[in-house]
Structure 1
Amino acid sequence: MSVVITSTINSKSLSPTRPFPSCINNSPSLFLISASFSRRSSNIFLTKVSCAKSPDDYHATLKSLNSRGRFPRKSLGQHYMLNSDINDQLAAAANVKEGDFVLEIGPGTGSLTNVLLNLGATVLAIDKDPHMVDLVRERFAGSDKFKVLQEDFVKCHIRSHMLSILESRRLSDPDFALAKVVSNLPFNISTDVVKLLLPMGDIFSHVVLLLQDEAALRLVEPALRTSEYRPINILVNFYSEPEYNFRVPRENFFPQPKVDAAVVTFKLKHPRDYPDVSSTKSFFSLVNSAFNGKRKMLRKSLQHISSSPEIEKALGVAGLPVTSRPEELTLGDFVKLHNVIARE
C-alpha cells in the first residue's frame, strides 16, 4: 500500500533519487511536492512538482538577462529583485494608483516597472546601462505609459526632465498631483540619489527606495551623540519625514549581496513647509562646517564664520550650551543657531 503526502518544503533540503526540474534546482522559493511512500521502501519518489511562480520571479529575471547574454555588473551596483511580493510592497508603500506618474531609477529587467504599469501608473525609467535600457524598451514597447532614458541619474538634469513632463500633464489635467519615486536602487548611488531627490518637494510627494539595510537605518534612525549622526540626517529631516518600512533579506536578490536591504519611505515636505531659515544654502554650509570638526566644540569648528566669543554668544541666544558639539544638536537646534548667526 502507498500513501500520497503533499507538503511545502525548501528545495535545497532535498536529495532526490532523480534530478529535479530546473525550476527547483535553481529557485530559492518553496514548492509543493507530492511524494509516494511504500511499506517496502523508505525512498522518496518525485511524482509531481508545482513551482510557486509569478510573472516576475527568479526565472523571469534570469530569462531576461540570459536573452541578452548579460551578467549583473558590480561596477553599476546591479542586484536584481527575485521576489515579486517585494515589488508589490514597494509600490504599496508609495500608494501607487491609477493616474500616478512614477520615476524609477535603475529598472533592470523591468519587474518593478511591470508592477507600476499594472497599477495604472505612467513610468519614466532612467538607467545608465544601455543593455538594460534596450531590454525594458523592447519589453514595454506596446505601452504608451512607459518611457526610458539612458542616462547616469546622478549626472542628469532630473529637475528639468520632470518639470517639462509635469507641465505637460497639468495642461491636460489641472488636478494632477505631484509625481512619486519608486525604485530598487543600485546600492552604490543611494546617498547621491537621496541628496538629489529630497529637496524636490515641489515635484515629488513620496520617494520610496530599496536601500542597504545599514544605510537605511543610518538615514532614518540615527541617535544623537553617536558616530552615525551626520549632516545627511539633518538634510533628510529638513526636507522629508522618513520612515523605515521593512527589511528585505539578501536572499531575494541576484546576485546575492553581502548585506540585507530595506525599504524606506521619504514623505517629502513642500518648500513652504521647510524649516524657517533665511537661506538653505547658508544653513547647510553651517551644518557641513560644524561636522567637519565633529568632535570639536562648535565655538572651534565655526571659527571661520565668526570668532569663538561670537559663536558662544550665538549659542547662548539659541538656548544651547557654549560647549555644544555638532552631534548633540537636533535639526531644530541647528535652525535656531543659524538664524541667530544670520541676524548678526
Structure 2
Amino acid sequence: MPSIAPANRHFVHRSAATLPDEFWSAARRDPAHFNIILPIALDYRKSGDRLPGETPTWILFYNSSGLEFVSSLTSTKMGTTYPLFIASATLDPLSCYAPSQLTARVEHIAQVLLSVVPNAVKRIYSIFAPAAISHAFCPVWSRLTNVRTCTEPYYAAKLSVCTLSTLSKRSPTLNPGVELRFAAPADLDQVARLCYSFAAESAPFTLTHDQARREAAILIEKHQVWVHTVEKQVASIAAYTRNADGLATITKVYTSGNFRRKGCAERLQTNQGPSSLFGHGFNQIALFVGVANPARFVYGKVGFQGLDDRATSGFEYWTEIGFDRSVVELGHW
C-alpha cells in the first residue's frame, strides 16, 4: 500500500539534462506507462533542450519512499504545447490508493503547478493521465482556479501493448495493386490530406491545411509514417512518433473514408507496422485506442492486449479532460 502521507517534496526541472537518475529509472522500468513523458524527455536531452516552443517543465513529486509522480509541460516538434501529462512512478498500482490519498496527492500537484508554472491557468488547457489521476485532479484544479472542466472528456482510451509473443502470426492477403511501405516525399500531398482529416475528426485539436502539410513533412522526413496504397492512392496511414528504449508508440492510424471496412488498417498493422518495428530494435509497441473506437477489435487481432470488451488486464485506462476553452490557450498534439 502507498504511504498514507501525501507527497511532501517536489523538484522542478527546466532542462532534461537535470532530470535525476530516479526519473530515468522509473520511466525505463515501465516505458509503456511513460510512453509520452519518456520519449519527449529524451528528445529534449538529445537536443540540449533546443526544441521549438516554450521552456519545458518537469516536476517530480516524492513521498517518504521515493519518487511517486511525474508531471510534464512540454512542446511538440511543431512548437505547439502538449497537455499536462502526469504519470505514476511507483510500483504500487493506482488502485492501491484510497480516494482520499489520491486527492491529497493531486491537491499538492495542483498547488505546485500554480506556484511554479508561468500563466498556469492559461497554459494547462487539459490533462492527460491515467483515468484515476485525471478524474481526481480536475475538480481540485477547478476549485483552485475557478476554471470549469469541459463536459465530456476529450479522449477516453485504453493503453495497450503488443509484444513479439502476442503479435498475430497471420498475414492478411495483399490484393494486386496494394503496397505497404514507408511514406516517401512524393506522398506528401496525400499524407497531408489524411493528417488533416484525422485532426478534423479529433476536435478540438484540428489542423489547418498548412499545419497538416508541415506535420506530414516531419513524419516523412523522420521515416515515422507508413502508407497503405491502392493503385498508388494512399488509402491509410500509420505513424509512430514517440520511441524510446525498446518501446515504440503508434500515435496516428487513419484510413480514408472510401477505403474503410476493407481491412486497410489491419493489413498495415500486421504486414508493416508492429512487425516492422520489432525488426528495428523495438520489443514493445504501445497504442492508445479510444474505448468506443470500433478499430480496437482490429488492434486486438493484430496482437495488442486487453482490448476485448471482457478483458480485465493487459491495459490501462487513460483520460484527457479539457478546461474551459474561453479561459485557456488551446495547444495541439
Under a length normalisation based on structure 1, what TM-score does the superposition of the two structures give? 0.27
Of structures 1 and 2, the larger Rg is shown by 1
Greater relative contact order, per chain length (Cα 8 Å cut-off, separation 6+): 2
Under a length normalisation based on structure 2, what TM-score does the superposition of the two structures give? 0.27
The structure with the largest helix share of the pair is 1
